[in-house]
Amino acid sequence: MTPQKQRDLPLSGIKVLEMGQLIAGPFATKLLGEFGADVIKVEPPKTGDPLRKWRIVQDGTSLWWHVQSRNKRSIALDLKSEDGQQIVRQLAAEADIVVENFSPGRMEKWGLGYDVLSRNNPGLIMVRVSGFGQTGPYRDKPGFGVIGEAMGGLRYLTGQLGEPSVRVGVSIGDSLSALYAVIGSLLALRERSRSGIGQVVDVALYESVFAMMESLIPEFDATGQVRQPSGSALPGITPSNAYKCADGSYVLIAGNGDGIFKRLMELIGRPDMAENPEYEHNDDRSKHVDEIDQVIESWTRTRSRDQVLVALDQARVPAGFPYTAEDIVNDPHYAARQMIQTITLPSGGTLKVPGVLPKLSATPGRVGGAGPELGEHTGEILSGLSVSDDLSKKILGSN
């Protein structure tokens, strides 16, 4: 693929000021930056975003950083100081979008609330990501992604019935919030194109998770049933589970479509179940889920994982297995769709990173290079503002 030029990208010309740290806010701006937005990331001097030191650190920088912060420019400012606040106001005056994920009220405490930042920029869009939203009785409670996952209903459903809930292995609450932040940004940009007026986009972590909970609430309201943890199964959708193979590994089989179920039963030597009217539709099959799962696993346990997957693929039954990082990197489909790309680090080494999505046919996004050094673009950004030489030197000297 030819490297995408900045002017060719769909968000080219959009200026984004990132005031957040760690995951939710910065992940949202990462997505905007991949499609051409000019993202200026504000970080505290000396320490920077704590994500710089999260998980595996090499050459002084988190490997995660090079995914989360690509396509951004870094400016180091002390937001507790009047000087830092003054620079933010100037940057916001020229911005299209400000993204922040501090505790509600923190921006106002610094004199950087929406009423202040939009005074000279009525078209400004401020995206505010927090644990519980900008209003309500829980507004001021601290809330990270795991708390949002718990309150949103997801954490209760993960794991096995009767055992402690388990966490999804990634920060899914933060990432879902970031997606809603991007959706809100684009909706607000669309509205601004008609009215010329900006607005506040209020994203709560727990609500972002709650929005994914499918029929959880109407089922409770209509029947009084509280959905329970179900391990690897998908309750009420049959068959859809993990099944053990002869080599001790597991395959995931989604044979829940009516026609798919028939093909699956024919494949495993149970034409009687394929033609049984009690199993014809999903609602009926779900009454017999334990029996169906036992029949399927009695077949998978006599074959290796690869044998099972080949047979299911030939029968056009959706199936797979839980990929590790190694499986992903070595998979030809990931490679063909450019979902694993290689960047060059400041040290001169290379690093494999995830590609960009969604995939646009005419104006695809970009991976760019590594995440910026702390304050790497401070001087460059200040030079584009009406900042006195003394103030510029003072800010640069504090980095």
Among residues 53, 50, 49, which one has the least CA distance to residue 62?
53
Long-range contacts of 154-159 (CB under 8 A, 24+ apart): 154/209, 154/212, 154/213, 156/229, 157/227, 157/228, 157/229, 157/230, 158/229, 159/229, 159/231
Q: Give CA 385 to chain center in angstroms.
A: 33
Cα–Cα distance between 20 and 84 in angstroms, integer?
A: 15
**Which burial class, exposed, middle or buried, applies to 130 when counting CB atoms under 10 A from its CB (0-12, 13-18, 19+)?**
buried
Catalytic residue flag (residue 49):
no
Helix, strand or coil, per DSSP, at residue 61:
strand
Contact, 149 vs 172, CB < 8 A? Answer: yes
DSSP helix/strand/coil, 188:
helix
Looking at residue 323, the DSSP 8-state letter turns out to be -
Choose the catalytic residue: 38, 49, 174, 293. 174
Is the separation of the CB atoms in 36 and 10 below 8 Å? yes
Instruction: Cite the active site residues.
Output: 174
